[in-house]
Amino acid sequence: MTTYKDPLIECSETGVRIHRYYPWGSKQIPYASIQSLERFKLSPVRGKYRIWGTGTFRTWANLDPSRPKKDIGFYLNLGHPVRPVVTPDDPDAFEAVVTAHLPSGRTG
């Protein structure tokens, strides 16, 4: 099975691990918990300069000091009020791996 890994995000055969999500460590998300994956263009209004945390209390971004240099982000809808936001180094590869593990129709 195809996997994805960069310094802050790992996709294994069982789920997504987001490093630096919490001050004390990583967040592990089983693929079965992901209701949908939504790709979006980063902008000053949509998290480009949000290095870590939240501005809306509806999303939570892991600590990524290089986020201002990136163009694409993803919301992971877990069915909770707060959605994790990730900005992988290779958005296309990340999206391909995650969507391969989701039932069809679960992308945003």
pLDDT tens-digit readout, 43-56: 998 889 999 999 88
| Residue 34 confidence (pLDDT) above 90 | yes
In a domain, 108, yes or no: no
Burial of 25 (0-12, 13-18, 19+ CB in 10 A): exposed
In a domain, 61, yes or no: yes
In a domain, 50, yes or no: yes
In a domain, 82, yes or no: yes
Range of the domain at 44: 4-101
Percent of the chain with pLDDT over 70: 94
In a domain, 13, yes or no: yes
Question: Position of tokens 């982000």?
Answer: 73
- pLDDT value at residue 105: 53
| Among the listed residues 55, 54, 59, 62, the one whose alpha carbon sits nearest the alpha carbon of residue 88 | 62
How many domains does the structure of the chain reveal? 1
pLDDT tens-digit readout, 53-94: 998 889 999 999 999 999 999 999 999 999 999 999 999 999
The band of 2, judged by pLDDT with boundaries at 50, 70 and 90, is low
